[in-house]
Structure 1
Amino acid sequence: MTYDSSPITAIATAPGRGGIGVVRISGKDLHAVVQALFGEQVFKPRHATYIPFTQADGSVIDQGIAIYFKAPHSYTGEDVLELQGHGGPVVMQMLLNRCLEAGRDLGLRLAEPGEFTQRAFMNDKLDLAQAEAVSDLIEASTEAAAKSASQSLSGVFSNVIHNLVEKVVHLRMLVEATLDFPEEEIDFLEKSDARGQLATIQAALKQVFEQAAQGALLREGLNVVLAGQPNVGKSSLLNALAGDDIAIVTPIAGTTRDKVTETIHIEGIPLNIIDTAGIRHHADEHFEAGGEIDLVEAIGIERTWAEVDKADVILHLLDASRGPTRADETIIERFPDSVPVIRIWNKIDLSGHHASVDVMDDATHVYVSAQDHIGIDLLRKELLRIAGWQQTGESLYLARERHLIALKHAHEHLENAAEYAAQNDQSLDLFAEELRLTQDRLNSITGEFTSDDLLGVIFSRFCIGK
């Protein structure tokens, strides 16, 4: 990722109409840009100035407020000028064009996605975990996710990582000092309690990972695929879970021809429930005479299997009123081994079963009536259990997949270090190397040790203007 330090500008508010819109400019020295826009007007830093925004010929675009932030006391750590006007899309675009026109000879250009936050990171206003939390806070789909993102943005997650790194650095210092002075012939592992310090670091890392994994659930949610034969109640179950009539429900086989996706929230966890076309084959015993699968339904069934392969959880619906069939067994055989499956026995209002959850060797079986909303709360609890969600009462960090991967790798290096520690002083150099690798993995979370390519990917996913 190359870093272009020329001044940048963009509309910082969301597209569409609003009471207020903001055009933001950031650069190392904006004096010339301000002069090109407003002549000899002097803005007192961090004070609002009511002023007309004009075209080059003096005609007024809008009346609004200008606020000037002098570096380093700004979001980006550079000089920042914010122009706040009426939030119509035409007005905002006219004001942005005027800024670009006035600053063209000064190198002012349109900002890339995430470039304002990227500059905040480059200028040490935010570390990388905090910068990512900015995007997560904007995109949060639940109150719980927003609170966790706010925690990370305030530096809670980063501080925990820094504390872990400090413990690793302290232990590294002791190990490497011993390597530098072997003539001392001290029993380093015993006298410095290196094994005890290592165990403490491992326990702390385990706790951080558990909290981060919970936070990742708040951010990413789960993709839950409803699969089964036609007319077992997949669409009815989707409607019951969503609490609304999302999918069309009829007694006609093959009503759902393509996937229907609805995001619901259970205790703040987003679940992307995907209703799919009923799975059947020409040889299915429940086919009516002459009932052929048409081309559209066949494509829908193909897409069903594609969604099943990508699922985090599969809800396999079966008809409790008729029991399992050979067609159900054929469907089960095609499910991926790595994906958790919950067997949903629907229509217990017709079968005489009671709403219940049975944990069996092959899978967890849940008995419900989607039509009558019986047993739906049991299913919701089972989904949370499968997801690994636990209400711990502790602060969660809205972690990303790369954070979890870094924490897993750090754990693996600490495991290796523990093995070398068990060999006493004979492997201290390898012990020290595993601690160094642990430190690098942890530092990659906050950006103290991160490749330029990764930075480019992270910031390119931000919205323009942030």
Structure 2
Amino acid sequence: MNLDNSPIAAIATAPGRGGIGVVRASGKNLSALIDALFGPGAKTLKPRHATYLPFTNADGSVIDQGIAIHFKGPHSYTGEDVLELQGHGGPVVLQMLLARCLDAGKEIGLRLAEPGEFTRRAFLNDKLDLAQAEAVADLIEASTEAAARSASQSLAGAFSKTIHALVERVTHLRMLVEATLDFPEEEIDFLEQSDARGQLAGIRATLDQVLRQAAQGALLREGLNIVLAGQPNVGKSSLLNALAGADVAIVTAIAGTTRDKVTETIQIEGIPLNIIDTAGIRTVAEDGDEVERIGIERTWAEVGKADVILHLLDADQGPTRADEAIVARFPANVPVLRVWNKIDLSGHQPSVEQTPDATHVYLSAHEGQGIDLLRAELLRIAGWQQTGESLYLARERHLIALKAAREHLSNAAEHASHSDQSLDLFAEELRLAQDQLSSITGAFSSDDLLGVIFSRFCIGK
């Protein structure tokens, strides 16, 4: 990502046609741009006031009529001067308006913004910390109401405040330890007098709670990829339709109807689940169907990427050698649910059975029997718990940092338990834990990490 601080501009609304479109510019001082667009002085454009006026070309011809708002820094999204031009949302009109801004801003070096550059500037100008900046993208991309609520809370600073509070507690404990290191004669009584062990235990308990909330929030953000696998005609497409509550997959009695994957995203208690229906697995040499062979290859490719595998079997027919061959190829580290379908024909009752090697769910996709049992099992495998706690829409890097901090605090507790009271090692583990926690909000983040994070934003945000 470009690190220069020259003024930037971009279309801030999503591509396509809409009732309203926004072109946004940001820079240390946009007075010259405003003068070029609206005339010297632009006295009609009061800061933080919406002004309705024509947007014109250099020759005076009108591009559009709309609203201009000037936000004087630091009281703006980026912390710099920001100019927003709100007009009609036609892509051609917006491109013309953006081109006009870039032309009018040549003298001040106005350039096209890179992806995420507006939010990056908000971070660099202390308008948002890194966790809040990431929450901007999470709020835009939220696929469920629960995810949107959690992202909104993180954007408001709930996650950051929790992390800052943890960092302060670790810092306070570090201060006590390192002060004691300066006075060796007091070292023997330090842990008892300052209740260092008790403070550390409290910090570890709070961190465990935060990690649990973050892990739950990560489910809201990422969801699960669930692959339906099994022989032809065991009811994979019917189960997809039952879970989705709509006919999203073609269901026939003809084996091999599904030739390519069909993906449908559903919600269970706010958790997004990407259900992937795949081609039935069998030995294609039976009829030499090349298209079906490719479909089966793609099935195994999806199985390899799955978070959960639903292995569908025919409850009326019972297990076969072909089913055993399919099980043998499943990845060892992916949870598998054995789903026995067609209990309306077999006489089984809807139920869940735990065996040493697998969990078995008996249902009828056609009749809708036992579907709720399957949904509950999917939530169990996902680790979802209704705790009533606020959830943080955590990213993978947040979870990695929290787990690393937990490990360092565990090491610190180990040093504190030794009879020789290794305070120098105790202090070092506290420092490492503090660094990991601080990286979440961006206090210790490399430029490379920032480049990766903000490059995934859309242009204009």
Instruction: Say yes or no: TM over 0.5.
Output: yes
Identity of counterpart residues, as a percentage?
81
Structure 2 match to 1:33: 33
Partner AA of 1:141 in structure 2:
S
Partner AA of 1:418 in structure 2:
A
Structure 1 match to 2:102: 100
What displacement does 1:72 show?
0.2
Partner AA of 1:26 in structure 2:
S
What displacement does 1:447 show?
0.4
Is the CA contact 1:169–1:439 (under 8 Å) kept in the aligned structure 2?
yes
Structure 2 match to 1:339: 334
In structure 2, C-alpha distance between the alignment counterparts of 1:277 and 1:105, rounded to whole Å: 60
Structure 2 match to 1:21: 21
Structure 1 match to 2:236: 234
- 4+ residue segments displaced more than 6 Å: none
What displacement does 1:105 show?
2.7
Structure 2 match to 1:211: 213
Is the CA contact 2:266–2:273 (under 8 Å) kept in the aligned structure 1?
yes
Partner AA of 2:206 in structure 1:
A
What displacement does 1:376 show?
0.6
What displacement does 1:186 show?
4.0
Q: Does 1:371 align with 2:373?
A: no
What displacement does 1:292 show?
2.0
In structure 2, C-alpha distance between the alignment counterparts of 1:84 and 1:325, rounded to whole Å: 64
What displacement does 1:426 show?
3.9
Q: What SS is found at the alignment partner of 1:371?
A: coil
What's the TM-score once normalised by structure 2's chain length? 0.98
Structure 2 match to 1:389: 384
Q: What SS is found at the alignment partner of 1:85?
A: strand
In structure 1, C-alpha distance between the alignment counterparts of 2:187 and 2:95, rounded to whole Å: 72
Is the CA contact 1:70–1:79 (under 8 Å) kept in the aligned structure 2?
yes
Structure 2 match to 1:459: 454
Is the CA contact 1:189–1:425 (under 8 Å) kept in the aligned structure 2?
no
Q: Alpha-carbon deviations, 1:282-338, whole Å to 9, x = none?
A: 68xxxxxxx324221111111111111111100000000011011111111111111
In structure 2, C-alpha distance between the alignment counterparts of 1:382 and 1:184, rounded to whole Å: 56
What displacement does 1:281 show?
1.9
Is the CA contact 1:187–1:425 (under 8 Å) kept in the aligned structure 2?
no
In structure 2, C-alpha distance between the alignment counterparts of 1:294 and 1:200, rounded to whole Å: 63
CA RMSD of aligned residues (A): 1.1
In structure 2, C-alpha distance between the alignment counterparts of 1:281 and 1:50, rounded to whole Å: 69
Q: Alpha-carbon deviations, 1:43-88, whole Å to 9, x = none?
A: 2110111111100000011111111000100000000001111111
Partner AA of 2:400 in structure 1:
I
**Residue ranges of structure 1 left out of the alignment (5+ in a row):** 284-290
What displacement does 1:2 show?
4.9
Q: Alpha-carbon deviations, 1:215-238, whole Å to 9, x = none?
A: 100000000000111111101100
Question: Which moves more between the two structures, 54-63 or 415-424?
Answer: 415-424
Structure 2 match to 1:6: 6
Partner AA of 1:224 in structure 2:
I
Structure 2 match to 1:286: none
What displacement does 1:418 show?
1.0
Structure 2 match to 1:155: 157
In structure 2, C-alpha distance between the alignment counterparts of 1:319 and 1:205, rounded to whole Å: 46
In structure 2, C-alpha distance between the alignment counterparts of 1:365 and 1:199, rounded to whole Å: 40
Q: 2:444 aligns with which of 434, 444, 449?
A: 449
Partner AA of 2:30 in structure 1:
L
What displacement does 1:172 show?
0.4
Number of equivalences: 459
Is the CA contact 1:9–1:111 (under 8 Å) kept in the aligned structure 2?
yes
